[in-house]
Amino acid sequence: MATELPTTDSRISPSLIRQRKGGTPLVCLTAYTYPVARLLDPHVDLLLVGDSVAMVLHGHQTTLGASIEMMIAHGQAVMRGSARACVVVDMPAGTYEDSAAQAVGSARRIADETGCQAVKLEGGVDMAGRIAAIVAAGIPVMGHIGLLPQSVEKEGGYKIKGRTNENVAALVADALAVEKAGAFSVVIEGTIEAIAADITHRIAIPTIGIGASADCDGQILVIDDMVGLTVDRVPKFVKEYADLGGVIAHAAERYASEVRSRTFPGPAHVFSSKNTSGGDDA
């Protein structure tokens, strides 16, 4: 069950995350809703309101279905449901690539309207200027390199990175550029294990792996994948720690059977005129 939310604001800050380089691995998960944020908050260091929400909760084929309004609404819900974790909200595709001014405007809107601690954006060398501009505006940034879901249409699929020498050099350059631009941490996604480990040892900011390496400074998974709620394909790098999909299907099956046999609602679930001790509240 969810624990009580702490009453004081004792959130883990991006600079605290930054200081955890090389220490106990950082525990990160995505969250999109108030109840799930409440359940996860006591256990994690960082909650990412990922643009994966467009696929996971809204049924889009790719993360390109995410809008800034969608990210803000889910960011607000996760902020309401958490008090301890550092909350990072993804900048959706189309909200930061055009110019530094566009990137700062979008980041400021997300930060102001959600109260989140940081934003995340995808890209390395090509997006370093956007990261530097957002950081200069006072908003902490988490980078994201390797497999970039926002580029999946351009790349023709979810392609693992670091298989060729060219790929490796570009990945290292991306990691160094993101670090130099002032990001407080960087997600490394879908990258050959040894390359992700090597990058982790080369840069001074924490690396957060997903389909990367146990040597990364932290790990992140999409919450719905991790608890068995994803109805479509689950990537190879996911470990399912629960089967909530099976639990929901079983509950729905029992409910359907009890409604059809008129065993639900039972006496405990209806209001009798004889018993008013509980007042009128449901």
Residues identified as active-site: 189
Task: Specify the stretch interacting with ligand KIV by CB under 6 A; choose among 10-18, 50-58, 98-106, 175-183.
Answer: 50-58
Does 68 sit near ligand KIV (CB under 6 A)? Answer: no
Does 83 sit near ligand KIV (CB under 6 A)? Answer: no
Q: Nearest CA to 109 among 152, 139, 147?
A: 139
CA 39 to chain centroid: 15
According to CB under 6 A, which one of 31, 36, 41, 50 is a site residue for ligand KIV? 50
Does 72 sit near ligand KIV (CB under 6 A)? Answer: no
CB 194 within 8 A of CB 142: no
Query: Whole-angstrom Cα distance, residue 218 to residue 23?
Result: 9
User: Residue holding tokens 């670090």?
Assistant: 179
Query: Whole-angstrom Cα distance, residue 238 to residue 149?
Result: 16
According to CB under 6 A, which one of 220, 226, 227, 229 is a site residue for ligand KIV? 220
* 121: DSSP letter: -
According to CB under 6 A, which one of 29, 47, 84, 90 is a site residue for ligand KIV? 90
Does 14 sit near ligand KIV (CB under 6 A)? Answer: no
Does 51 sit near ligand KIV (CB under 6 A)? Answer: yes
User: Residue holding tokens 């997006």?
Assistant: 127
According to CB under 6 A, which one of 30, 106, 191, 207 is a site residue for ligand KIV? 30
Minimal distance in Å, beta carbon 8 to ligand KIV?
29
The SS3 call for residue 6 is coil
The SS3 call for residue 267 is helix
Residues engaged in binding ligand KIV (CB under 6 A): 30, 48, 50-52, 63, 90, 144, 187, 189, 210, 220, 222
